[in-house]
Structure 1
Amino acid sequence: MLSVMPMQILYFSSDCTYTFIYYIIQYRKKVVLDNLRKAFPKKNKDEINDISKRFYRHFCDIIFESIKTLTISKEDAKKRLNLKNPEIIENFVKDGRSILLYTAHQGNWELLVYLPLLLPYPSNTFYRPLNNLYFNGLLLLIRERFGVTCVEKSKGYRTIIKQKNNSEIVMNCIIGDQSPRKESAIHWCNFFNRKTAFYLGANNISRKTNDVVLFPRFTKVKRGEYQLYFEIIEEFPSRSPGYKTVDKYARCLENTITTVPEMWLWSHRRWKLTER
């Protein structure tokens, strides 16, 4: 029912939700403020609070923009996401190269499901299933509506290798800014002036497949309208020694966050894993 509402009503609902979660229940407010203080130690209290408020407003907008994806028309979806440099992908695909979009919880990452409307190439995204079967099914319905194929994270490597063996040209999307689990294969990067653990999945997969690694960076034109710019992380990752790809990704992400800090997901516990 929410999804069929006009965006004006959804943004009004977003404003109400912001007031509720920021001022009343204070959803993860301590986590957000702690993360911001760690990332920007030179900013004063007022500056940190200002970023946190802008983050919560953006976060609430993401929720309702994602809900709208369930019923939005193809024409309206195309208006909400503008590709700044699609030719970078088109040129690589013409050369027979697959693309690994090494993305993050930045901008409105859920709008990456619109890519099949803007680029005529198969698109996969890798995800971790939710424990709640209803919401897991709902998210799959939203994310696959325009042609994206959702692949469980545990099957990601086998899926990409199978594509490579079949000479398929595909855009694969992997989110790389989650806080890893202790038992995971990780690499420690210098991220916001502190050692930060990153998953090695995208780094190792790209070295194996030699797929072009791009960082998709969101900017917001206005409420509900985004631009997406593709930045090259590695053109030939198989030639890149060690963990160069994940190190470059961490730098791209930090630069993007520093430019528009409110558009990153500060509510997750990014630095809960510490180096021993």
Structure 2
Amino acid sequence: MQLLVYLITYPFLWLISILPFRLLYAFSDVVYLLIYRVFGYRKKVVISNLKLVFPNKNDDELKRITKAFYHHLCDMMVEAIKSMTISEKEMKKRFTFSNVEEIQRIENNNKSIILMCAHYGSWEWIFILQTYVKSKGYAVYKRLANKYFDRLVKRIRARYNSHLIVTKETIPILKSSKSKGELTINGFVSDQTPKPQTAFHWQEFMGIKVPVHTGAEMIAKKLDMAVVFFGVERLKRGYYRTTFKTLAENPNDFKDYEITDLFLKLVEDQINEAPEYYLWTHKRWKHKDLYEEYGHKLKT
């Protein structure tokens, strides 16, 4: 059944991917009408999240953010499909880096890098970074249920020496690379929601105490990797600029969770600046009422 679904769907995705950008975004507008206007995909979650973190915004402001968010979400969906056939030249034109020399500087100091980001702006085309660096690229992801689509996504990333790995593979693979003297640059989307009963750290995020993933910081300390945040700015439709900020070149000089907290603050700054580009369909605050049960037991 998985193969049948793949064989039926793949040609449709490929045809979308070869559309010129003008038509690609026209298709995105149609998808927006379906997702937002017709089906209301996770609209209750989006509105609930926005009201929670922006209690002082009025209904008109929240509606504007909601509509802009869904437009952006649909653009990201078609841009992900476009990754199947987009050329390196085109991607470099549309996804630029304001200070890639910061990554190169750390690389020249013979340090591997933990690259932290949030579900903000666009992260689909970040793997073009591999054309500017010498390090082997890894990104931690959740394996897709359909193994054929999973292989497709891996193939797309591998075009630029970037490889997807699941959580349980991360430490063994990165330890092996370190033992061989290989430099790696490793992407972590670090604003997901961990299970409250297994979280090591709770912190305020957009003013609300929630459990926080600390895996990126823990691995950086364990393997002595520099930690760098990348923020993405949407310049105009289909064009993005990424800026890197080094959080810790020597992570073991920092107290536990200090690096994670620095990361969260930068994510908050992005959201407050342009909230429509955050992934509001993500149930980031679903464990907010469980701090008394789990979080207070930890030293925060």
TM-score by length of 1: 0.96
Instruction: Choose which of 227, 230, 246 in structure 1 pairs with 2:241.
Output: 227
1:55 matched to 2:69? The reply is yes
Q: Are 1:31 and 1:266, in contact at CA under 8 Å, matched by a contact in 2? A: yes
Give the whole-Å Cα distance in 1 for the aligned partners of 2:226 and 2:37.
44
Q: How does 1:110-125 map to 2 (within 5 A)?
A: 110-125=124-139
Give the whole-Å Cα distance in 1 for the aligned partners of 2:157 and 2:278.
20
Q: Are 2:195 and 2:211, in contact at CA under 8 Å, matched by a contact in 1? A: no
Instruction: Choose which of 180, 186, 207 in structure 1 pairs with 2:194.
Output: 180
Deviation, 1:115, is: 1.3
Deviates more, 1:88-97 or 1:109-118: 109-118
Post-superposition CA distance 1:232-255 (Å, at most 9, x none): 222211111111111111111111
Q: Are 1:188 and 1:198, in contact at CA under 8 Å, matched by a contact in 2? A: yes
Deviates more, 1:65-74 or 1:131-140: 131-140
Deviation, 1:183, is: 4.7
Unmatched tracts of structure 1, length 5 or more: none
Report what 2:206 is aligned to. Answer: 192
Give the whole-Å Cα distance in 2 for the aligned partners of 1:252 and 1:194.
16
Letter of the structure 2 residue corresponding to residue 233 of structure 1: L
- Number of equivalenced pairs: 276
Instruction: Choose which of 267, 270, 273 in structure 1 pairs with 2:281.
Output: 267
Report what 2:107 is aligned to. Answer: 93
Report the CA distance shift for 1:181/1:144 in structure 2 as closer, same or farther (over 3 A).
Answer: farther
Deviates more, 1:157-166 or 1:245-254: 157-166
TM-score by length of 2: 0.89
Give the whole-Å Cα distance in 1 for the aligned partners of 2:198 and 2:152.
28
Letter of the structure 1 residue corresponding to residue 57 of structure 2: K
Is the radius of gyration larger for structure 1 or structure 2?
2
Deviation, 1:120, is: 3.5
Deviation, 1:150, is: 1.2
Give the whole-Å Cα distance in 2 for the aligned partners of 1:206 and 1:85.
22
Letter of the structure 2 residue corresponding to residue 70 of structure 1: M
Unmatched tracts of structure 2, length 5 or more: 1-14, 294-300
Post-superposition CA distance 1:128-154 (Å, at most 9, x none): 102222332232222222221111221
Q: Are 2:196 and 2:211, in contact at CA under 8 Å, matched by a contact in 1? A: no
Give the whole-Å Cα distance in 1 for the aligned partners of 2:27 and 2:133.
32
Report what 1:13 is aligned to. Answer: 27
Report what 1:206 is aligned to. Answer: 220
Q: Return structure 1 stretches of 4+ with deviation > 6 angstroms.
A: none
Residue 18 of structure 1 aligns to a residue whose secondary structure is: helix
Report what 1:4 is aligned to. Answer: 18
Q: CA RMSD in A?
A: 1.3
Instruction: Choose which of 95, 110, 119 in structure 2 pairs with 1:81.
Output: 95
Deviates more, 1:141-150 or 1:55-64: 141-150
Q: Are 1:78 and 1:118, in contact at CA under 8 Å, matched by a contact in 2? A: no
Give the whole-Å Cα distance in 2 for the aligned partners of 1:185 and 1:210.
22
Q: Are 2:98 and 2:242, in contact at CA under 8 Å, matched by a contact in 1? A: yes
Report what 2:182 is aligned to. Answer: 168
Letter of the structure 2 residue corresponding to residue 204 of structure 1: M
Letter of the structure 2 residue corresponding to residue 83 of structure 1: F
Q: Are 1:78 and 1:117, in contact at CA under 8 Å, matched by a contact in 2? A: no
Identity %: 35
Report what 1:144 is aligned to. Answer: 158
Deviation, 1:186, is: 3.4
Report what 1:128 is aligned to. Answer: 142
Give the whole-Å Cα distance in 2 for the aligned partners of 1:257 and 1:186.
24
Residue 260 of structure 2 aligns to a residue whose secondary structure is: helix
Q: Are 1:99 and 1:170, in contact at CA under 8 Å, matched by a contact in 2? A: yes
